[in-house]
Amino acid sequence: MPIELNGQTIETDEEGYLANRTDWNEDIAKEMARLDSCDLGENHWEVINFLREYYEQYQIAPAVRVLTKAIGKKLGAEKGNSKYLYELYPYGPAKQACKYAGLPKPTGCV
């Protein structure tokens, strides 16, 4: 389903991930979250920004296990655990946050 935002149509795949990664901006992320009834706070953005940096560096969206570990390494153990990340992203931290970050679905997620 394409996303309608500020008079523009942004293409997505059938699961709502951006068709073109370069279309991404913060407003699109907010709109995607709004459609999921999710209000993006500072902690959500921290994960989104982390994922975008990870993609920039390695050209992949990390699997949830890898994300959890890598977040722990960078932001501390209180954030690098499943409980914290699932509270932020109940649909699955890697899947949902990757979508808002404009990345493809994580490699290894079915």
- Positions annotated as catalytic residues are 109
Q: Which is nearer to other proteins, 68 or 96 (CB)?
A: 68
Q: Are 44 and 34 in contact (CB under 8 A)?
A: no
CB 15, min distance to other proteins, A: 17
Build a one-symbol-per-residue string for 9-38: x at contacts with other proteins by CB under 8 A, - elsewhere: ------------------------------
Stretch that binds other proteins, among 25-33, 51-59, 74-82, 84-92 (CB under 8 A): 51-59
Buried b (16+ CB within 10 A) or exposed e, 21-57: eeebeeebbbbbbeeeebebeeebbbbbebbbebbee
Rounded CA-CA distance 101/99 in Å is 5
Q: Which is nearer to other proteins, 21 or 34 (CB)?
A: 21
Tokens 């649909």 label which residue? 91
Build a one-symbol-per-residue string for 62-91: x at contacts with other proteins by CB under 8 A, - elsewhere: xx-xx--xx---------------------
What does each C-alpha distance from 63 to 2, 13, 45, 47 come to in angstroms?
Answer: 25, 19, 18, 13
User: Where does this chain bind other proteins (CB under 8 A)?
Assistant: 54, 57-60, 62-63, 65-66, 69-70, 107-108
